[in-house]
Amino acid sequence: MKITTNYISDYEYVATTEEGQKVKIDMKDAGKTDQSPMQLVLSALTGCIAVEIALVIKKRRKTLVDLIIDAEGTRNGEAPKYFTNIHLKFTLVSPDANNDELYKATKLSLEKYCSVASSLKADITFETEVVEKQ
């Protein structure tokens, strides 16, 4: 997987996948139009979990009518301001799955299947390379 991030302004960037999908990144304090990197992390987490929940529920031959995930991240007070806690609230609507089944689907999704959640817990090795262009 590869992403290329390009400068728009000091606080704005656009990240592009190898396939050409783009997302704007916005870290301005005022007049913000897009998500910040940390907001994108929460969005990636909830999107990943949502897909996995839907797949688990359908695999169990249950119906998913609606799914809403509210995420609230608490961050470290000093730089780097990484997440120290993420609270997830799941609102699931299903006519044929009970609360216990829905709870199990969310737990499985978060703890076993969601690669974003696993990445947030992982000990990741970073390699860097600097190229100077003139």
Q: Is the pTM of this model over 0.85?
A: yes
Domain, as residue range, for 20: 1-31
User: Does a structural domain hold residue 130?
Assistant: no
User: 70-91 pLDDT, tens per residue?
Assistant: 999 999 999 999 999 999 999 9
User: Does a structural domain hold residue 45?
Assistant: yes
> Residue 77: which CATH number?
3.30.300.20
User: Does a structural domain hold residue 126?
Assistant: no
Q: Quick check: 71 and 45 in contact, CB under 8 A?
A: yes
User: Does a structural domain hold residue 131?
Assistant: no
The answer on 78 and 22 residing in a single domain is: no
The answer on 77 and 40 residing in a single domain is: yes
* Spacing of C-alpha 58 from chain mean position: 22
Q: For residue 39, which phi and psi values (nearest 5 degrees)?
A: -65, -35
Instruction: List per-residue pLDDT tens for the chain, 134 residues long.
Output: 999 999 999 999 999 999 999 999 999 999 999 999 999 999 999 999 999 999 999 999 999 999 999 999 999 999 999 999 999 999 999 999 988 998 999 999 999 999 999 999 989 999 999 999 88
The answer on 17 and 80 residing in a single domain is: no
